[in-house]
Structure 1
Amino acid sequence: MTRTRYAPDRGLTVRMVVTLFLLGLLYVVFVAVLIALGARAITVLVLAGGLLLVQYFLSDRIALFAMHGREVSPQEAPELHGLIDRLCAMADAPKPRVAIADSDVPNAFATGRDQRHAVVCVTTGLLRRLDPRELEGVLAHELSHVAHRDVAVMTIASFLGVVAGLMTRFALYSGLGRDRGNNNGPPIGLIIMLVSVLVYAVSFLLTRALSRYRELSADRAGALLTQRPSALASALVKVSGEMSRIPTRDLREARPFNAFYFAPALAGGRGAGLATLFATHPPLERRLAQLDAIAGRLGREG
């Protein structure tokens, strides 16, 4: 992590390293199986590698374009820039580019492969609904993603899932499922498709688990930086409550970008279970419990 005053998170670092190691091991096994089966996989691998490079180097521009965000100057959004200036000074971190997305869905996101190429974007819906203390908490959360290089790690972590997904589609649409390695052997395409589906499922669960933890880490780092966990908790409650008032059509349009957002649009059910396993964010109750514990600890230390 680039050195800033954001609280270090060894748990996040360990989880990032372990997840990337497991995904790398899974990738080696996946490629070995493809080679053993004599699969025509080189085109898919090259394509997936190209997509990874594009996503890694252009993630900030792609995210802004997809979410209809535009960069704003200090003259256009003086209060927003003022809050980010203050947080960057507190964190001893370089200031990212600042953007606003014209959307009533109350949310925010940060993207960019490192601090020099980062952008923090908030929606007009969020600006209308939060007071300055709550907005500061949300921005501190997003800036911690930048400080921890979450976007770069998640981009790399998602690479194997992209490869497996492309291989599955390739097998389905190219008719490989009907091909056989020899006259009496099993259908090579079907085996490739089944292996790809399994690899995709495992990589999906690993990256979702990492995504949930990084949100808890960002909550913790943001609360400790501002020393106001209650403001971030208030923002979480307000944003989650306001989601129920947003038209379902708008939430569905926003849902593909859940992994980027401060709070998910159309979140899954509460509690444990499959919904939590597949979720990009931890349950609201868990995030609030963590912030409450931080508030108690700060109160005892103060």
Structure 2
Amino acid sequence: MSTRFASDRGLTTRMVVTMFLLGLLYVVFIGVLIALGVQALTVLVIAGGLLFVQYFLSDRIALFAMHGREVTPQEAPELHGLIDRLCALADMPKPRVAIADSDVPNAFATGRNQNNAVVCVTTGILRRLEPQELEGVLSHELSHVAHRDVAVMTIASFLGIVAGLMTRFALYAGLGGRRNGNQGGVPVGLIILLVSVVVYAISFLLTRALSRYRELSADRAGALLTQRPSALASALVKISGDMARIPTQDLREAAPFNAFYFAPAAAPGQALANLFSTHPPLDRRLAQLTDISRQLGRG
């Protein structure tokens, strides 16, 4: 389903390349497991079940985990009004609208496609942002929906789930069993553990790299849709700055959902190294928005 959000060949290319590399890694990984005599079917069934649940119920799971509730136009007229306008501009179906009672200023969108999506904002972000800034954030989130980012990232995470399960199985099995049945061989469980860790690390880095680029792509598409990149930049600065004033406990509770969020729930200077982050650095996002402003002739 097409929309008026700006297309991004770079995002499409990275999605295809990442999925290809993960698929190749998956084939090699399963081949190694079979060569070691592991019954991989059980792991695949469990991982496939988790993927199925995550793919089809991601919107409900995310809302439940983040304590969000759907709101009607009567309950949140301003929020619905902004989303109505953006969906009309983008020529896309309107997603469900939700609010999470949290002082952490953030927003997220989830759902496997445009017809099964929800956009959620926290009470913290509603209190802090001006209408134009909030519109910039919402356009960013709707871009994720339009580009089916959630579906792609869910599928991309499948190999990491398989590798993680294999690591646990190897640990629970006590790393027992020996190669070639002799006591001097390397335990099969240890080999499985090492291979699983390597596969998980590679899939982790690939999906994080894709996640960072999709955030830049969503910034770009959202800014071009509203034609106000400065409003999005202002929201980024305000949210990132306010993170430092949020209690550490609240940030830790929100941190597991950073991949969903508009901005990572971490105070400045406390984020992980860029290589492991779900989001690009703030200065990289602001630099891109400045370039877009220049292109639009707005300095």
- Amino acid of the structure 2 residue aligned with 1:297: Q
Deviating 4+ runs (over 3 angstroms): 267-271
Tell me how large the CA RMSD over aligned residues is: 1.4
> Partner residue of 1:140?
139
> Partner residue of 1:90?
89
- Amino acid of the structure 1 residue aligned with 2:68: G
Contact 1:268–1:275 (CA<8 Å) still a contact in 2?
no
SS of corresponding position for 1:178:
coil
Matched, 1:227 2:219: no
> Partner residue of 2:207?
207
Shift of 1:42: 1.9
Shift of 1:268: 7.3
> Partner residue of 1:185?
185
Contact 2:208–2:277 (CA<8 Å) still a contact in 1?
yes
Query: What do the CA deviations read for 1:153-197 (whole angstroms, capped 9, x no partner)?
Result: 00000000011011001100122x121131253211110110000
Contact 1:269–1:275 (CA<8 Å) still a contact in 2?
no
Shift of 1:41: 2.5
Instruction: Tell me the distance in 2 between the aligned counterparts of 1:44 and 1:70.
Output: 34
Number of equivalences: 297
- Amino acid of the structure 2 residue aligned with 1:108: A
Contact 2:6–2:221 (CA<8 Å) still a contact in 1?
yes
> Partner residue of 2:16?
17
SS of corresponding position for 1:49:
helix
- Amino acid of the structure 1 residue aligned with 2:173: S
> Partner residue of 1:283?
281
SS of corresponding position for 1:244:
helix
Instruction: Tell me the distance in 2 between the aligned counterparts of 1:174 and 1:194.
Output: 14
Contact 2:243–2:268 (CA<8 Å) still a contact in 1?
no
Q: 1:267 to 1:53 in 2, by over 3 A?
A: farther
Tell me whether 97-106 or 38-47 shows the greater mean CA deviation: 38-47
> Partner residue of 2:296?
298
Instruction: Tell me the distance in 2 between the aligned counterparts of 1:163 and 1:140.
Output: 34
Contact 1:268–1:276 (CA<8 Å) still a contact in 2?
no
SS of corresponding position for 1:113:
coil
Instruction: Tell me the distance in 2 between the aligned counterparts of 1:44 and 1:174.
Output: 14
Instruction: Tell me the distance in 2 between the aligned counterparts of 1:55 and 1:267.
Output: 29
Contact 1:15–1:210 (CA<8 Å) still a contact in 2?
yes
Instruction: Tell me the distance in 2 between the aligned counterparts of 1:125 and 1:268.
Output: 18
Matched, 1:52 2:24: no
SS of corresponding position for 1:201:
helix
Instruction: Tell me the distance in 1 between the aligned counterparts of 2:143 and 2:115.
Output: 14
Normalized against structure 2, the TM-score is what?
A: 0.97
> Partner residue of 2:124?
125
Instruction: Tell me the distance in 2 between the aligned counterparts of 1:47 and 1:141.
Output: 34
Instruction: Tell me the distance in 1 between the aligned counterparts of 2:100 and 2:270.
Output: 28
- Amino acid of the structure 1 residue aligned with 2:236: L
Instruction: Tell me the distance in 1 between the aligned counterparts of 2:245 and 2:267.
Output: 14
Instruction: Tell me the distance in 1 between the aligned counterparts of 2:232 and 2:268.
Output: 21
Instruction: Tell me the distance in 1 between the aligned counterparts of 2:3 and 2:265.
Output: 30
Q: 1:270 to 1:174 in 2, by over 3 A?
A: closer
> Partner residue of 2:252?
252
Instruction: Tell me the distance in 1 between the aligned counterparts of 2:60 and 2:128.
Output: 26
Instruction: Tell me the distance in 1 between the aligned counterparts of 2:20 and 2:202.
Output: 13
SS of corresponding position for 1:121:
strand
Instruction: Tell me the distance in 2 between the aligned counterparts of 1:44 and 1:80.
Output: 43
Contact 2:240–2:267 (CA<8 Å) still a contact in 1?
no
Normalized against structure 1, the TM-score is what?
A: 0.96
Q: 1:224 to 1:98 in 2, by over 3 A?
A: same
- Amino acid of the structure 2 residue aligned with 1:14: T
- Amino acid of the structure 2 residue aligned with 1:279: S
Matched, 1:72 2:51: no
Query: What do the CA deviations read for 1:69-112 (whole angstroms, capped 9, x no partner)?
Result: 00000000000000000000000000000000000000000000
Instruction: Tell me the distance in 1 between the aligned counterparts of 2:172 and 2:139.
Output: 45
* Identity value in percent: 82
> Partner residue of 2:237?
237
Shift of 1:40: 2.8
Listed as ranges, the gaps of 5+ residues in structure 2 are none
Instruction: Tell me the distance in 2 between the aligned counterparts of 1:149 and 1:22.
Output: 19
Query: What do the CA deviations read for 1:10-63 (whole angstroms, capped 9, x no partner)?
Result: 000000000000000000000000000001332121100100000000000000
